[in-house]
């Protein structure tokens, strides 16, 4: 039976016991924040031992490196992504992007220790970034990532608010990007809202949805700028690699 390209890739990673965490659009789908994506984005360890099974899986998928840099620990440890295009008949054209380090995220062993697992038909158990780490990895300069962050947290809030623990409420207050949800949480849990140091404006006397939306826009602009600054030296290095090639 022919699998769809993404299922073929995931089942091959499982076959070789690749210690990889699904992230990006495919992980968002698993968490209920529907996003159309034809790519597979993976967080992987940067050690030679950790990369060995990944190399075997990529070989079976007939995955060819595209762009730069090459799949080497030194580049992954700096935060670069390595890109591949599959040529296997059951995964033809599928792109696989791998990273080991993302801005603002923990190191791979920590990400792995708090991973989430999903049962995916025809691919078996699939490990993915936990929701908090997925949200953090989406805090980039790209326009498409910010609506996805909002949808992911909205879905989590709507699914779990009835039996929420204090740590859940604290996380929603720190990360949610929906003014109405933030306003409701802050009014219902002022003690927890007061503990969110990065968002002291949650308890401003005149806080309303418009005021919170303005604060969220300001927060987003700052994070986008931080991401641009993070990637600036990496992009310069990539350009030097392209010229050398």
Q: Is the pLDDT of residue 158 over 70?
A: yes
Please indicate, yes or no, if residue 242 is contained in any of the structural domains.
no
CB count within 10 Å of CB 5 equals 22
Percent of the chain with pLDDT over 70: 97
Enclosing domain of residue 216: 145-229
Q: Whats the size of the chain, residue-wise?
A: 245
Give the Cα separation of 184 and 88 in Å (integer).
Answer: 50
Range with the poorest average pLDDT among 100-104, 140-144, 167-171, 203-207:
203-207
In a shared domain, residues 56 and 129: yes
State the Cα angle at 128 between 126 and 134, rounded to 5°.
160
What percent of the chain has pLDDT above 90?
90
pLDDT confidence band for 123 (50 / 70 / 90)? confident
**Burial status of residue 21 (CB atoms within 10 A of its CB: 0-12, 13-18, 19 or more):** buried
Listed residues 121, 137, 153: the one ending a domain:
137
pLDDT at 36: 65
165 shares a domain with 133: no
Question: For 31-56, how does the pLDDT look when each residue is reduced to its tens digit (9 = 90+)?
Answer: 987 666 679 999 999 999 989 999 99
Instruction: Give CA torsion, residues 216, 222, 227, 229, to 10 deg.
Output: 170
Q: What is the CATH number of the domain that holds 46?
A: 3.30.460
Say how many domains are in the chain. 2
Q: Tell me, yes or no, whether 218 and 111 share the same domain.
A: no
pLDDT higher than 50, residue 1: no
What values do phi and psi take at 67, rounded to 5? 65, -160
**CA dist., res. 154 & res. 158, Å (int):** 6
| pLDDT score at 3 | 61
Between 145-160 and 179-188, two packed helices, what is the crossing angle to 10 degrees? Answer: 40
Q: What is the pTM of this model?
A: 0.94
């Amino acid at each position: 039976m022919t699998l769809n390209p993404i299922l073929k890739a995931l089942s091959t990673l499982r076959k070789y016991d690749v210690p990889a965490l699904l992230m990006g659009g495919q992980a968002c789908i698993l968490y209920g924040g529907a996003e159309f994506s034809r790519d597979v984005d993976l967080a992987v360890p940067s050690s030679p031992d950790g990369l060995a099974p990944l190399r075997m899986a990529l070989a079976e998928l007939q995955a060819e490196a595209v762009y730069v840099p090459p799949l080497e620990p030194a580049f992954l440890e700096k935060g670069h992504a390595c890109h591949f295009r599959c040529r296997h008949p059951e995964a033809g054209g599928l792109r696989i992007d791998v990273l080991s380090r993302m801005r603002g995220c923990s190191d791979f062993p920590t990400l792995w220790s708090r991973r989430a697992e999903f049962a995916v038909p025809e691919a078996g158990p699939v490990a993915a970034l936990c929701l908090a780490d997925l949200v953090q990895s989406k805090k980039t300069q790209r326009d498409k990532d910010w609506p996805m962050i909002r949808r992911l947290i909205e879905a989590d809030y709507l699914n779990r608010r009835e039996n929420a623990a204090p740590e859940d409420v604290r996380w929603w207050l720190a990360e949610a990007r929906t003014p109405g949800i933030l306003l409701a949480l802050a009014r219902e849990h002022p003690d927890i809202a007061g503990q969110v140091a990065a968002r002291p404006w949650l308890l401003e006397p005149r806080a309303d949805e418009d005021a919170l939306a303005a604060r969220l826009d300001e927060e987003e602009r700052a994070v986008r700028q931080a991401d641009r600054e993070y990637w600036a030296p990496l992009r310069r290095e990539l350009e030097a690699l392209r010229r050398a090639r």
